[in-house]
Homo-oligomer: A and B are copies of this chain.
Amino acid sequence: MNVNGYPQRTIWPTADNSAVEIIDQTKLPHEFVTLLLESMRDAERAIRDMQVRGAPLIGVTAAYGVALSMRHHASDAALKATCDMLLAARPTAVNLRWGVERMRALLAPLPAEQRAAAAWQEAGVIAEEDVAINRAIGVHGCDLIRAIYQRTKSTVNILTHCNAGWLATVDWGTALAPIYAAVAENIPLHVWVDETRPRNQGASLTAWELGQHGVSHTVIVDNAGGHLMQHGKVDMVIVGCDRVTARGDVCNKIGTYLKALAARDNGVPFYVALPTPTIDWMLQDGVQEIPIEERAAAEVTHISGLADDGQIHTVRVTPLNSPVANYGFDVTPARLVTALITERGVVQADEKSLRELLL
Contacts and interface: CB of A to CB of B under 8 A. Distances in A.
B257 A220 contact: no
A78 interface: no
A235 interface: no
Contact of A195 (B200, B227, B317): B317
Interface stretch (A49-57, A96-104, A165-173, A300-308): A300-308
Contact of A222 (B192, B197, B312): B197
A358 B193 CA distance: 43
A124 interface: no
B195 A221 contact: no
A224 to B, nearest CB: 5
- Residue of A29, A226, A301 with most partner-chain B CB within 10 A: A226
A292 B231 CA distance: 11
A175 to B, nearest CB: 16
Contact of A29 (B192, B196, B318): B318
Interface stretch (A80-88, A109-117, A129-137, A321-329): A321-329
A318 B261 contact: no
A217 interface: yes
Nearest to A329: B227
Interface in A27-60: 29-30
Contacts of A203: 300, 317-318, 322
A149 to B, nearest CB: 21
Contact of A258 (B200, B261, B327): B261
Contacts of A207: 318-319, 322
B305 A315 contact: yes
A318 B204 contact: yes
A255 interface: yes
A211 interface: yes
A325 B197 contact: no
Contacts of A314: 307-308, 315
A9 B250 CA distance: 47
Contact of A319 (B29, B223, B331): B29
Interface in A190-245: 192-193, 195-198, 200, 203-204, 207-208, 210-211, 217-228, 230-231
A220 B300 contact: yes
29 contacts: A29-B319, A30-B319, A195-B300, A198-B223, A203-B300, A204-B319, A208-B322, A210-B322, A211-B321, A211-B322, A217-B322, A218-B323, A218-B324, A219-B318, A219-B322, A219-B323, A220-B300, A221-B326, A227-B254, A227-B331, A258-B259, A261-B261, A302-B305, A303-B303, A303-B305, A303-B317, A304-B317, A305-B315, A314-B315
Interface of A: 29-30, 192-193, 195-198, 200, 203-204, 207-208, 210-211, 217-228, 230-231, 253-255, 257-259, 261-262, 265, 287, 292, 300-308, 312-319, 321-327, 329-331
